Chains A and B, each alone.
Chain A
Amino acid sequence: MTAPLLEARGVTLQYKTAQHLLTATYRVDLEVHRGERFIILGPSGCGKTTLLKAVGGFLEPVEGRIMLAGRPIRGPGPDRMMVFQDFEQLMPWKTVLGNVTFPLRVKRAWKAREIKERAMAALEKVHLAEFAHVYPHMLSGGMKMRVAIARALVMEPEILLMDEPFAALDALTRRHMQRELLELWRMLGFTMLFVTHSIEEAVTLGSRILLLSAHPGQVRAELNAGHLDGRDAADPAFGALTRHIHDLLFGEGREPANA
């Protein structure tokens, strides 16, 4: 097996607040390989976002290390493009096209024409080409999320980091977006690290699922879901995995020792 693209070893993450020290994750290990759809799944508050922020370079582990392609992560960078849950991540003062071209411009590696072509190509992939010149506030939630995804994909990052990107959408739009994301993955073959608290979303989207226990997050299990590719909730194998995860998180299994 080749070396993992992203590797976390014994990562403990803490927040220092004015009153106390809060441990968000405790000694988490994970390995993400190229082309994987790696899901971090766990109950609300278990430190999923914190872990993703650490991979994004916004937070340093107090213990352990995180490596991307063999190099330790130092600060944020466009090789790890992030997509967040809320709609405020878009720049309201820029059009859809302006938002997508922005990170390309910041990097100063391309000519103006090439930047526009790349951005338009990315917008076509998320079916937003005809909205290129619209301001974000005129878009629906699902469309805003597609802009954020296009903006992340246009940079062709080593890994795409997504923090519950569909959690704020209505159920129908969410299903739709999940299907579109899988299509994009089939088309482009990127690596993604996707955070969610929904078991169903994890099983639908993931090729591999990391389960975190409740606060502070510790690794509970790591499961394969790639064999379910394209099957939906009606499929028995889908249901079996869902129940298995449910039992691991909420039933039968031991609670973490220091709960």
Chain B
Amino acid sequence: MPDPVRAALAQDLPPRPEFERVPQDVGQIGAVEAPLSLRERLFGNIAVRRGLVLIGIALLWEGYARWLNVSLLFPTFSETVRVFVADLLSGVLSERILTSLRVLLIGYAAGVALAAVLTTLAVATRIGNDILSVLTAMFNPLPAIALLPLALIWFGLGTGSIVFVLIHGTLWAIVLNTVTGFRAVPETLRMSGRNFGLKGPRYVAQILMPAASASILAGLKIGWAFAWRTLIAAELVFGVSSRSGGLGWYIFEAREELETARVFAGLFAVILIGLLVESVIFRTIEARTVRRWGMQR
């Protein structure tokens, strides 16, 4: 039954003519795209915008330090840069950095390798999965640096202890992310892989791992970040007694001698290397892989 109110409303609508059109050939519309102005392009560029922020911070730092004028407490930006560059060129700082990176790479590589073995076991067997879940839940919340005293008892002063702590710092983050990534692989993708006849290690390597690559990369990134922070902290705690100290020791030493600009230069190096790895190396890997594949925005 027609609704009287509706019918009345429909009749009140103004009459409008119908029409049909043939779409124009787009060639005749002319250029739809136009180049952006220089200013638009500059401010559209993230690197440029963030660079400006950095310059702003440096200027503020310089201004405040000059106004404060106590270089023992708060050296100026220019002084920090001067010490940084001088130590880098003289080899003091570069040697410390290399020492740190070498230890870091050993610990990180060992952590990654161990994570690969453990996740393989976890994927292959149910009991392996249970064991790994419990271990990860137990050890992941434990800050790596808290294990340092134990490491010192077991491995004594030196690289062994630091590597042990670094492995702990990277292992669980990578395992956790990888296993989570494996679990999130879509059901139909898994079924496709098995449909093609893939089984066992080939199935893991050719379907699960690439499908979880976004999570695995995230795990590697977090693991790296943990490792870097843990390393510097560990070197600060007992770097003094080891013969060839790393960046942490460089900072510690500078503090002992009340060379505050050098402390700042050391922190500068820590930040710089962290940034370089996190936003250059990992960013590049991501851009070439998961971002290119549309698996991460």
Q: Contact residues of A with B, CB < 8 Å?
A: 53, 56, 58, 76-78, 80-82, 84-86, 88-93, 102-103, 106-107, 135-138
Closest B residue to A85 by beta carbon equals B188
What class of interface size applies to chain B in its complex with A? Answer: 20 to 34
Interface residues of B in 168-211 (CB under 8 A from A): 186-189, 191-192, 194-198, 202, 206-207, 210-211
> A88, B197: Cβ atoms under 8 Å?
no
> B197, A106: Cβ atoms under 8 Å?
yes
Given contacts A56-B191, A88-B189, A91-B211, contact A137 B294 (CB under 8 A): yes
> A93, B213: Cβ atoms under 8 Å?
yes
Known: A77-B197, A81-B195, A93-B210; 18 extra A-B contacts, CB below 8 A, are A53-B191, A56-B191, A77-B195, A86-B186, A88-B186, A89-B188, A89-B192, A91-B207, A91-B211, A92-B211, A92-B293, A93-B293, A93-B295, A103-B196, A103-B197, A135-B292, A136-B294, A138-B294
Closest A residue to B292 by beta carbon equals A135
- List 26 contacting pairs A-B, 8 Å CB cutoff, sorted by A: A58-B191, A58-B194, A76-B191, A76-B195, A77-B197, A78-B197, A82-B191, A82-B195, A84-B191, A84-B192, A88-B187, A88-B188, A88-B189, A89-B186, A92-B293, A92-B295, A93-B289, A102-B196, A103-B196, A106-B197, A106-B202, A135-B292, A135-B293, A137-B293, A137-B294, A138-B294
Q: Is the interface of B mostly helix, strand, loop or mixed?
A: helix
Residues of B near A76 (CB, < 8 A) are 191, 194-195, 197
Partner of B189, one of A77, A85, A91: A91
Q: Which A-B residue pairs are the 6 nearest by beta carbons?
A: A137-B294, A88-B186, A89-B188, A103-B196, A84-B188, A76-B194
Residue from B188, B198, B293 whose CB has the most chain A CB atoms within 10 Å: B188
> B186, A106: Cβ atoms under 8 Å?
no
The distance in angstroms between the C-alpha atoms of A131 and B213, with both chains bound, is: 24
Given contacts A93-B213, A106-B198, contact A135 B191 (CB under 8 A): no
Nearest CB of A to B206, in Å: 8
Interface residues of B in 248-297 (CB under 8 A from A): 289, 292-295
Nearest CB of B to A97, in Å: 14
Residues of B near A80 (CB, < 8 A) are 195
Residues of B near A102 (CB, < 8 A) are 196
Residues of B near A92 (CB, < 8 A) are 211, 293-295
Nearest CB of A to B182, in Å: 15
Residues of A near B197 (CB, < 8 A) are 76-78, 103, 106-107
The distance in angstroms between the C-alpha atoms of A102 and B293, with both chains bound, is: 16
Nearest CB of B to A156, in Å: 14
Closest B residue to A137 by beta carbon equals B294
Nearest CB of A to B157, in Å: 45
Residues of B near A81 (CB, < 8 A) are 195
Residues of A near B188 (CB, < 8 A) are 84-86, 88-89
Residues of B near A77 (CB, < 8 A) are 195, 197
Residue from B187, B198, B293 whose CB has the most chain A CB atoms within 10 Å: B293
> A82, B192: Cβ atoms under 8 Å?
yes
Residue from A58, A92, A136 whose CB has the most chain B CB atoms within 10 Å: A92
Residues of A near B207 (CB, < 8 A) are 91
> A89, B210: Cβ atoms under 8 Å?
no
Closest B residue to A86 by beta carbon equals B188
Interface residues of B in 132-182 (CB under 8 A from A): none
